[in-house]
């Protein structure tokens, strides 16, 4: 297991100087955030990132994410050009020593929450998803940290309508087309591609979502049946649905060698299916983090793992879900569990 930490570049309040002080921290998960989705990343920018990370004693072997342009997902407009650009990004990242690329195929929105700073009983702040609040939101005006917000309200409205018209099967067809173009390049470059599940794993605002449960993960892996076509398995994304047995998923897909990147966080599922993000410690949420890590360990997982979204604690101010303190606690909690599994 290689412990990693997400970093949003030099403007991130969580600095590399601080991250390196977390024990057992192997690498940094990052991206070139200055380039619009669909464009080619300059080699200099990639290498500058790598040098900065290595200067602080860590590795840059996982990129999260190389965004998939909406034209690719809808297979319209300049999708062929954007796919060629995507392939070139795979080649350039491979030359820089990257081993895994995380991406998602979520239409329009990345992870979606109804509130970014819900105060929990212990005084910490967390990301939450309350279904009754989501139902009242205007999706053309949403803005969350970590995903593209360059669309105008009118452009967002048009995109939403385009996806409604496309539907689930249309989205599956376009994902298959995308994989058929990029996975041969990933094989050539020996880079593992790990798709991130939809977060949350159900349709929102009437827009189709397709990477959401065991059935869809099975279907996805068969679209291009090669080990380079794999998963970024996220406990918080899949685990916020009661229908998903996440420990079973870890055992199944890790045994197959198809999990290339593991995101670990805990969520507390509420009675109506809403959820609150919680501390990583198992009793604070609905997921058994110790059992999840045991499943990874017993299936011989030796890939990359990172603490996912954390609460904001101890008065920390920063990007919601991506503060230092709670994610560092999560990293150490997981490291302690892993050490115990190895010794006993």
Residues tagged active-site: 196, 234, 263, 308-309, 322
| Pairing label, strands 115-119, 229-234 | unpaired
What DSSP element (H or E) covers 6?
Answer: strand 2-6
The answer to whether 245 touches 239, Cβ cutoff 8 Å, is no
Rg, Å, the chain Cα set? 19
Comparing C-alpha atoms, which of 259, 212, 253, 264 is closest to residue 231? 259
**Measured distance CA(65)–CA(62) in Å, rounded:** 9
- DSSP letter for each residue of 186-254: HHHHT-EEEEEPPSSSS-BTTB-----SHHHHHHHHHHT-STTEEEEEEHHHHHTSTT--HHHHHHHHH
**Measured distance CA(100)–CA(132) in Å, rounded:** 37
Question: How many Cα neighbours within 13 Å face the side chain of 237?
Answer: 27
Write the CA distances from 206 to 26, 120, 167, 318, integer angstroms. Answer: 40, 30, 10, 31
């Amino acid at each position: 297991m290689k412990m990693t930490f997400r970093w949003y570049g030099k403007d991130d309040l969580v600095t590399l100087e601080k991250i390196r002080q977390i024990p057992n921290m192997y690498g940094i998960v990052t991206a070139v955030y200055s380039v619009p989705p669909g464009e080619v990343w300059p080699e200099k920018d990639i290498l500058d990132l790598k040098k900065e990370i290595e200067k602080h004693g860590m590795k840059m072997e996982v990129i999260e994410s190389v965004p998939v342009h909406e034209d690719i997902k809808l297979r319209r407009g300049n999708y062929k050009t954007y796919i060629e650009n995507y392939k070139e990004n795979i080649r350039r990242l491979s030359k820089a020593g990257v081993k895994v690329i995380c991406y998602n195929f979520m239409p329009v929105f990345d992870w979606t929450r109804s509130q970014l700073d819900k105060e929990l009983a212990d005084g910490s702040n967390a990301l939450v998803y309350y279904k009754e609040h989501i139902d009242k939101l205007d999706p053309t005006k949403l803005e969350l940290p970590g995903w593209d917000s360059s669309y105008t309200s009118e452009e967002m409205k048009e995109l939403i309508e385009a996806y409604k018209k496309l539907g689930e099967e249309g989205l599956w067809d376009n994902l298959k087309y995308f994989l058929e173009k990029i996975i041969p390049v990933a094989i050539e470059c020996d880079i593992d591609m790990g798709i991130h599940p939809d977060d949350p794993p159900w349709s929102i605002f009437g827009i189709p979502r397709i990477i959401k449960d065991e059935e869809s993960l099975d279907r996805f892996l068969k679209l291009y049946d090669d080990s380079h076509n794999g998963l970024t398995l996220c406990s918080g994304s899949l685990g916020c649905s009661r229908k998903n047995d996440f420990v079973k998923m870890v055992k199944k897909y890790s045994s197959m060698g198809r999990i290339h990147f593991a995101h670990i966080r805990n969520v507390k599922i509420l009675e109506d299916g809403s959820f609150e993000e919680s501390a990583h410690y198992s009793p604070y949420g609905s997921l058994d983090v110790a059992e999840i890590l045991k499943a990874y360990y017993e299936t011989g997982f030796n890939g990359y793992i990172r603490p996912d979204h954390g609460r904001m604690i101890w008065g920390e101010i920063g990007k919601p879900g991506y503060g230092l303190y709670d994610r560092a606690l999560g990293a150490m909690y997981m490291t302690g569990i892993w050490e115990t599994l190895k010794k006993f």
